[in-house]
Amino acid sequence: MLKKKKKEDMEHTELHDELSAEETLNNEETAEETAATHEVKDGPTAEDKLKEEVAQANDKYLRLYAEFDNFRRRTRQERADERKEAGKEAIVALLPVLDDFERAEKAMQNATDVNAVKEGVALIQNKLKNILTQKGLKEMEAKGTTFDADIHEAITSIPAPTDDLKGKVVDELEKGYYLNDKVVRFAKVVVGA
């Protein structure tokens, strides 16, 4: 009986050791899960970090877009203001010519000498030409030159009076002008054929 009792005690001890081992294992797993749960609560996960980075990038993008939109609006407004003011300098320079024309008109009402009126108009024309030349306007010399479609506009062609005028400008109906070496008005010409 003693043998039987010892055998039962051994089996009971083994069973108890197995149960203790299982409990210890379970307790360790529970402890690890709890620790993992606490780590999640204590520190941000990779997903949270990515969400934060996306939010920062989105905020940065929106700020950059708003800044660019403001820049574009400001630039557009500045250009519009520049266009409005672009002709101001030339107009202010031409005001004395306008004043001269008004004085000439008053003088012509009482004038008896035509030569004096002609001289006055010629002076005003020279004054106007000088102001425009100072602003970069230059007359185009067309008569007698070879026809060039880049600077001339042919109104008509006529038989050339001489052979050396074939393909050349015979007459100029309207002067052409350059502004700072760019054509601003084509010369309207008659070409010899």
**Using 50, 70 and 90 to split pLDDT, how confident is the model at 39?**
very low
Please report the sign of the dihedral spanned by the C-alpha atoms of residue 46, residue 48, residue 54, residue 56.
negative
Q: 84 burial class (0-12, 13-18, 19+ CB within 10 angstroms)? A: exposed
**Using 50, 70 and 90 to split pLDDT, how confident is the model at 93?**
confident
Q: All domains of the chain, ordered by start, with CATH?
A: 138-193 (2.30.22.10)
Most confident of 58-62, 168-172, 178-182: 58-62
- The C-alpha atoms of residue 115 and residue 37 are separated, in whole angstroms, by 109
Contact between 192 and 170 (Cβ < 8 Å):
yes
Most confident of 18-27, 47-56, 91-100, 108-117: 47-56
Contact between 152 and 189 (Cβ < 8 Å):
yes
**Residue scoring higher pLDDT (139 or 35):** 139
Phi-psi region of 144 (alpha: psi -120 to 50; beta: other; left: phi over 0): left
- Strands of 137-139's sheet in order across: 137-139, 177-179, 182-185
pLDDT tens digit sequence for 96-115: 888 888 888 888 888 788 88
